[in-house]
Amino acid sequence: MSEQQSGAVQRHVFEYALVRVVPRVERGEMFNAGVMVYCRARSYAAALTHLDERKLLVLDPRADVTGVRAALAAVEGVCLGGDPAGQAAGDDPGRRFRWLSAPRSAVVQPGPVHTGLTADPEAELARLFEVLVR
């Protein structure tokens, strides 16, 4: 009996991490600016980001808005393995996700990795983005 015949939807383990903006690392103040999702079973890795410029400038009126936007765009590009990925472009989605989700002390940094189950990693990315970022 197939998955459709049985009515069961096959769900797969996925991982996600928030992408945070920490304008002044020494102060530790941050806000969510994106989310990255990785699903090994679907060979899927992608990110969605959005910079709330008002929040950024409240936390640091001298913040480099252009630089932060570029860093967020790079996260999306590396997840997909596109041009901004550079050497990582040839890596599999899991390696790209692991590299992006590794702890770092920078203005744009990942949060902890969490797991869940999903039948549709792309829909899960959109849902997490709306709930945790927007």
Taking 3-state DSSP, the helix, strand and coil percentages for the chain, each rounded to the nearest 5, stand at 45, 25, 30
pLDDT > 60? residue 64: yes
Q: Is residue 95 situated within a structural domain?
A: yes
Q: What's this model's pTM, rounded to 2 decimal places?
A: 0.88
* Inter-residue contact 122 to 129 (CB < 8 Å): no
Residue pair 10/117 in contact by the 8 Å Cβ criterion: no
Per cent of the chain over pLDDT 90 is 77
117: in domain:
yes
Note whether residue 3 is domain-resident: no
Structural domain contains residue 60: yes
Residue 111: give the domain boundaries: 10-132
Tell me whether residue 4 is in a domain: no
CA distance 125 to 108: 19
Q: What is the count of structural domains for the chain? A: 1
87 dihedral zone (left: phi>0; alpha: psi -120 to 50; beta): alpha
Residue 1 lies in a domain: no
